[in-house]
């Protein structure tokens, strides 16, 4: 039931330069509106992702503490048992939590 790290997706103009990027903590203290989960915002975090063995149990545990952006959705047509929900973190970053995803 506990989620574990899956991946982070970044929008970028130069993939190699982005792969060489260092990340730094911001001190502005601002809470930003949710980022659009799409490539139109180069340099912005697109989303970060975690995987869990039991998405329903995870959602019950967090309750209303974290707003849901989309889902939970089922992608059984692509991978049987694959389900995803997208949440919004306090900085407006989309956080994907999935169950059952298997990479080919």
Q: What is the tens place of the pLDDT at every residue in 31-62?
A: 455 555 555 555 667 788 889 999 999 999 99
Give backbone dihedrals phi and psi of 38, rounded to 5 degrees, phi first.
-160, 170
What number is the average pLDDT over the span 94-104? 86
Q: Which CATH class is domain 4-18+32-99?
A: alpha beta
Distance (Å, whole) CA 57 – CA 49: 17
- Could you read off the pLDDT of 4-30 as tens digits, one per residue? 777 777 666 776 766 667 555 555 555
The token duo for 87 is 């949440």
Pairing relationship of beta strands 4-10 and 45-51 according to DSSP bridges: antiparallel
Cis amide leading into 72 (omega within 30): yes
């Amino acid at each position: 039931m506990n989620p574990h790290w899956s991946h982070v997706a970044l929008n970028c103009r130069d993939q190699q330069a982005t792969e060489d990027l260092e990340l730094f903590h911001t001190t502005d203290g601002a809470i930003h509106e949710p980022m659009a989960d799409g490539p139109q915002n180069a340099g912005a975090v697109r989303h970060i992702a975690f995987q869990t063995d039991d998405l329903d149990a995870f959602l019950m545990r967090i309750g209303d503490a974290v707003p849901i952006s989309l889902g939970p959705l089922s992608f059984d047509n692509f991978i049987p048992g694959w389900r995803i929900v997208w949440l919004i973190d306090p900085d407006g970053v989309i956080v994907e939590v999935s169950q059952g995803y298997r990479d080919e």
